[in-house]
Amino acid sequence: MEEYNMEDYNDPEFDIREDKESCENEEETIITCEKTVHQKAKVALPISIEPFVEYGKIKARCCGNPKVSIDCRDNCNYVITQEICIDIPLKFGVLTEIKEELIECETPYIEDNCND
């Protein structure tokens, strides 16, 4: 089998297909070594929420007729009571803003599984 050095791969004239026929009869063995890199990270998405309340014109209206309470001891003293309904138009809401994501990475490490 013909040997090549790394300079051959940069040569435009180099074509690995030329050697294809000579390799077809040889059994190819691929050996790999696998490692896993582990890393912990905390990922966060900050969200800002601000509440707001808007109000409109407040109105009052009478509910039913007034009631008169007279002091039994003195007709000159009395109390008038009126139920009223107060209308307070309100609009509740929130302003939200999504901010840029955050990431906090710990140091990566490689777990060695070659303890045999």
Is-above-0.75 flag for pTM?
no
Considering the domain boundaries, does residue 88 fall inside one?
yes
Q: What is the pLDDT of residue 108?
A: 82
Task: Domain count for the chain, please give it.
Answer: 1
Is the distance from CB of 78 to CB of 45 less than 8 angstroms? no
Considering the domain boundaries, does residue 115 fall inside one?
no
- Which has more pLDDT, 42 or 12? 42
Chain segment 89-115, per-residue pLDDT in tens: 999 999 999 999 999 988 888 775 565
Q: What is the pLDDT of residue 49?
A: 97
Chain segment 40-91, per-residue pLDDT in tens: 899 999 999 999 999 999 999 999 999 999 888 887 888 999 999 999 999 9
Considering the domain boundaries, does residue 116 fall inside one?
no
Considering the domain boundaries, does residue 84 fall inside one?
yes
Domain extent for 64: 6-108
Q: What is the pLDDT of residue 1?
A: 46
Considering the domain boundaries, does residue 113 fall inside one?
no
Considering the domain boundaries, does residue 18 fall inside one?
yes
Query: Residue 38's beta-bridge partner residues?
Result: 109
Considering the domain boundaries, does residue 114 fall inside one?
no
Is the distance from CB of 78 to CB of 68 less than 8 angstroms? yes
Considering the domain boundaries, does residue 43 fall inside one?
yes
Query: Residue 91's beta-bridge partner residues?
Result: 54
The SS3 call for residue 11 is coil
